[in-house]
Copies of this chain bind each other. A is one copy, B any other.
Amino acid sequence: MREARLALLAGAPFLHGLSPEELRAVAGLATERTLRARQVLFREGDEADALFLVLGGRMKLTQSDSDGREVIVRIVGPGGLLAAVSAFANTTFPATAQAVESTTVLSWPREALPELFRRVPVLALNAMETLSERMREMQERFRELATERVTRRIARALLRLVREAGRRVEDGVLIDVALSRRDLAELTGTTLFTVSRVLSEWEAEGIVKSSRQRVVVRSPHALVAIAEDLPPIGSTRR
């Protein structure tokens, strides 16, 4: 069990390149915590006092504006870092972190980080790589939101989810996170109604099969065609 755990940790990009001893030491400084589904780990605006690593389950990071409209900034699964920003800047959390399902996280208090980075410098590098990667993804989604139609954005979001949380099942790839239509809308910058309509349409075409908080992608290929605007056959031009 303890060994399985170490293997899990070694798989996290943040802890990549650490020796088993280092791994044990770093893990030893962390606190483990399990959240129930829908439980909140931290809120946007709170003092960023810790760095988190997801061990199992999924967290969603959301921002909301003054009117209460929410946006999902990111969904983080096993091995993912949460609040990487707190590792380097002395600020507040830029988003709210909520468990989508039962989720276990490790946390390192902010004060412990400098010492940690001093003893295991590669950790700082790993965290920065994560941050860079994330920046890239955020920019990409920003561009999508600015230039693309809803349909394409939903296709892309599903493809990303397939990549990050896909599980092969009988009739396609199941997105193995319980996401409501509303969640998908908040991921893509639209409304739950539009998501519902688009999914219904795709269901009729045999591209996906969806039910309550569940989507199975039957034909990823078709989604790619929509995302990239490769007209499948007889599609109306832009």
Contact = CB atoms under 8 A, between A and B. Distances in A.
Interface stretch (A1-9, A123-131, A168-176, A213-221): A123-131
Contact of A146 (B124, B133, B148, B189): B189
A91 B186 CA distance: 30
B66 A228 contact: yes
Contacts of A88: 125, 128-129, 131-132
Contact of A143 (B71, B133, B147): B71
Contacts of A193: none
A132 B95 CA distance: 13
A88 B128 CA distance: 7
Interface residues of A, number: 40
Interface stretch (A23-31, A34-42, A134-142, A158-166): A134-142
B147 A69 contact: yes
A132 B65 contact: no
Interface string A55-99: 000000001111101010100000000000100110100110000
A145 interface: yes
Contact of A135 (B131, B146, B189): B131
A120 to B, nearest CB: 15
A141 B142 contact: yes
Nearest to A133: B89
A95 B139 CA distance: 9
A189 B73 contact: no
Nearest to A89: B132
Nearest to A65: B147
A145 B148 contact: no
A22 interface: no
Nearest to A86: B132
A61 to B, nearest CB: 9
A201 interface: no
A145 B142 contact: yes
Interface of A: 63-67, 69, 71, 73, 85, 88-89, 91, 94-95, 124-125, 128-129, 131-136, 138-148, 186, 189, 228-229, 238
6 contacts: A63-B139, A65-B148, A88-B131, A135-B135, A138-B138, A142-B142
